[in-house]
Amino acid sequence: MPHARPGGRTIYRLVLWNIDLTLVDVARVSRQAYAEAFQRVTGRPLVALPQVAGRSDSEIFFESLALNDVAVDASEHGGQELLARYAWELSAAFSARRGQVTTQGRLLPGALQAVQATAGLPGVVQSVLTGTIKPNAAEKLSAFGLAGYFDLDIGGYGSDVYPRGSQLLMCQTQAAEKYQVRLPAGTTVYIADSSRDVEAARISGVGCISVASGRSTMADLRSAGADVVLPDLTDVAEVVRAVDRLTGVAASH
């Protein structure tokens, strides 16, 4: 049954958003932060950057180590320690560029309006499932006036080493525990832009609205099995209809 969340609003469905190339494009600032953090941690310049679409900051870091021939402690403890150092430096490097986020980046068309409209649906709580580490996710959302629409405590972030499909399930668990609700199948939807995100949603049994605002084409996203494929977020009414339909089981709770 639905339960009231803090503030008195009834919650019974979860909407998760990817951030980069779904809501915002801050790739230039992110690349600068990657390069600075990488050099601070390894003492080596970041000459080659791997494919970043649909990948987490932790995946990008470890792939960058291999691409740039940086030898590291191969033990689990050594890898965790190195990743923690990198995450700290990445947060500092991005925060130092806070003023550049809106001048060198942009809010994608329809993003603010779609987030606002979805937030107004009955029973919805929104969070993020993103490859970005949590401090930088908050920076990106705040820069474009989006942060207030999300509960970032129940999101999934790029410092996690779990596969994206597992993170989706973890977000559901965190939301259910925080708001003391059941979130059965048919009450969660993921909105994202890459084929890898679509595949993660399919693995976890979650509905997926995909937006061809990133590196994946509409054909790529359909082939990956997205429930709904949109060219962008400008048709806000269609975004809301898709969210409502894909969380439709909630209507009976």
Under 8 Å between Cβ of 214 and 22: yes
Rounded to 5 degrees, φ, ψ at 124 are -90, 135
**Segments making up each domain of the chain, as ranges:** 3-26+106-252, 27-102
- What mean pLDDT do residues 227-240 have? 98
Query: In angstroms, how far apart are the furthest CA atoms of the chain?
Result: 57
Check pLDDT > 80 for residue 67: yes
Residues 6+ apart with CB under 8 A from 53: 21, 194, 196, 214, 215, 216
pLDDT of residue 162: 80
Measured in whole angstroms, how far is the alpha carbon of residue 46 from the centre of its chain?
24
| Residue 76: per-residue pLDDT | 52
Cα 227 to Cα 198: distance, rounded to the nearest angstrom: 9
- 209 closest CA partner among 73, 5, 22: 22
Question: Quick one: pLDDT at residue 131?
Answer: 94
pTM of the model: 0.92
The whole-angstrom separation of Cα 16 and Cα 151 is 10
User: 232's torsion region: left (phi>0), alpha (psi -120 to 50) or beta?
Assistant: beta
Residue 197 predicted with pLDDT over 90: yes
pLDDT value for 78: 59
**How many whole angstroms separate alpha carbon 13 and alpha carbon 10?**
10
> Mean pLDDT over all residues of the chain?
91
Output phi, psi for 214, to 5 deg: -110, -140
Distance of alpha carbon 194 from alpha carbon 157, whole angstroms: 16
Q: Quick: pLDDT tens for 80-90.
A: 888 899 999 99
- The fraction of the chain above a pLDDT of 90, given in percent, is 79
pLDDT at 23: 98
pLDDT band for 195, please (50, 70, 90 cuts).
very high
Residue range 123-136: average pLDDT? 97
- The proportion of the chain whose per-residue pLDDT surpasses 70, expressed as a percent, equals 92
Number of Cβ within a 10 Å radius of residue 69? 9
Confidence of residue 74 (pLDDT cuts 50, 70, 90): low
Reading the block at residue 138, the tokens are: 């908050």
Unique residue bearing structure tokens 């191969």: 74
The three-class DSSP label of residue 49 is coil
Residue 79 is predicted with a pLDDT of: 74
Using the predicted structure, report yes or no on whether residue 65 has a pLDDT greater than 50. yes
d(CA 14, CA 117): 14
**Model confidence band, residue 252 (pLDDT cutoffs 50, 70, 90):** very low
For residue 8, give the DSSP letter.
S
Mean pLDDT over 40-60 rounds to 88
pLDDT of residue 71: 79
* Tokens coding 50: 């791997």
CA–CA gap between residue 160 and residue 116 (Å, rounded):
28
pLDDT at 138: 98
157: closest CA among 216, 87, 85?
87
- At residue 137, does pLDDT exceed 70? yes
Q: What's the CATH class of domain 3-26+106-252?
A: alpha beta
